[in-house]
Amino acid sequence: MKKRIQPHLRVGEGDVEDICLIAGNPDRIPKIAAQMNDAEEVARYRGLVTYRAYTPGGVPVTLSGTGMGTPTTHICIEELTNLGAQVIIRVGSCGGISRDVTTGDVVVPTACVRDERTGLNYAPIEYPAVASPVWQKALFDEISAVFPEDRVHRGICWTTDVYYNNPEMGNPLDVWTRANVKCVEMEASLLFVFATTNDLEAASILACDGNLHGEQKGELSDATEESGEEDPLLKEAVEKEIEATIAAIDSLHAD
């Protein structure tokens, strides 16, 4: 295990706890920290921010922003693991594919479609991207306890490394809709493959910011428009997924 200062996160020995929460949006890290105790910023470099904080049950947790997509996520989870991370939970967002997954819902993926290439660094495409059963269940149970039943989902997530699809190259949305895929995002399959091939635990919980068949996160007419990250339903879902994740940690690890 490498103990030196990591080149991208700028964290070193003693800076990373066994349990890490990651988010693609670096602005989400202070929001997670705000729901925890004794939070402190540990490092900030190249837009990547890392905190340490404690759950209400006293469990120390590292919080780290990864940026968008699998390449930067790969760098961050490698560096966290170099310093001792054993459990990595992605607290993120997604777009709905199943027509009943809409803005403000929460999805807990059980496994992922591997439509990205960074994960090939760890295992061939035939290798499944599967969430930790223990953590997936804990996240689902905790979000179900604080959120309406019809707004909580679990199932297959499509992880892709393309955000703006080129219509001339075809659109796989219909395929994944027919296959009963719940949502789409850009990091989870890499995280799951990395974890299982390295004997780690990983899971993800995702707040939905729109549906690819209908209303999607789009451009804002001005800075005050309540859509995208500013949508009240999405804000509520993010708050609840953070609350549920912290509760899941305490349910599994608090003294």
Of 148, 146, 147, 172, nearest to 159 by C-alpha is: 172
Contact 12, 3 (CB under 8 A): yes
User: What is the per-residue pLDDT for 168?
Assistant: 86
pLDDT tens by residue, 42-60: 999 888 999 999 999 999 9
Phi-psi region of 193 (alpha: psi -120 to 50; beta: other; left: phi over 0): alpha
Whether residue 219 is predicted with pLDDT greater than 70 in this model: the reply is no
- Stated pTM of the model: 0.93
Average pLDDT, the chain: 93
Rounded mean pLDDT of 8-22?
A: 93
User: What is the per-residue pLDDT for 1?
Assistant: 47
User: What is the per-residue pLDDT for 39?
Assistant: 96
Domains of the chain in sequence order = 19-253 (3.40.50.1580)
Rounded mean pLDDT of 237-254?
A: 96
Is the sign of the CA dihedral 97, 100, 104, 110 positive or negative?
A: negative
pLDDT tens by residue, 63-78: 999 999 999 999 999 9
Q: Give the whole-number percent of the chain exceeding pLDDT 90.
A: 81
Cα→Cα distances 27→49, 63, 185, Å: 9, 11, 18
Cα→Cα distances 16→13, 126, 127, Å: 7, 32, 29
- The rounded distance, in Å, linking the Cα atoms of 63 and 247 is 15
CA R_g for the chain: 17
Q: Give the whole-number percent of the chain exceeding pLDDT 70.
A: 92
- The rounded distance, in Å, linking the Cα atoms of 51 and 62 is 6
